[in-house]
Amino acid sequence: MSDCQRPLSPHLSIYRPQLTSMLSILHRFTGVGLFVGSFLFVGWFVALSLGEESYQSIVSFLESLVGQLLLSGWVFAFYYHLFNGLRHFYWDIGRGFDLETTYKTGWLVLGVSISLTVITLIFMMWR
């Protein structure tokens, strides 16, 4: 073994966060969130099939503050991942790669996702 220090590759800490990199990271996090949230969705169906007592216990959890936060995050993850996926399809046909369009579509995806999440949550409260 040698005592010389090997150079390190550039680390995230030396780069200034940019919209494109943050949206890419968010896309990955929402994908993981959708996967994890799917277990809660399946648990809801299982509880439904097991009878009223099981169903009421999961509904009680979903109506709690933690449950509401999880559902809100899952709704946002669904909308964001959906619309950012459409943005990626747009890129797949070879369009929208210029910096201006990339930023416009990024802000559009973020705005639409937040707006639809708020609309969905308001609609759910009025049920």
pLDDT band at 17 (very low <50, low <70, confident <90, very high): confident
User: Can you give the chain as a three-state secondary structure string?
Assistant: CCCCCCCCCCCHHHCCCCHHHHHHHHHHHHHHHHHHHHHHHHHHHHHHHHCHHHHHHHHHHHHCHHHHHHHHHHHHHHHHHHHHHHHHHHHHCCCCCCHHHHHHHHHHHHHHHHHHHHHHHHHHHCC
pLDDT band per the 50, 70, 90 thresholds, residue 126: confident
pTM above 0.75, yes or no: yes
Q: Give residue-wise pLDDT tens across range 54-110.
A: 999 999 999 999 999 999 999 999 999 999 999 999 999 999 999 999 999 999 999
Domains by residue range for the chain, with CATH: 21-125 (1.20.1300.10)
pLDDT tens figures, 106-117: 999 999 999 999
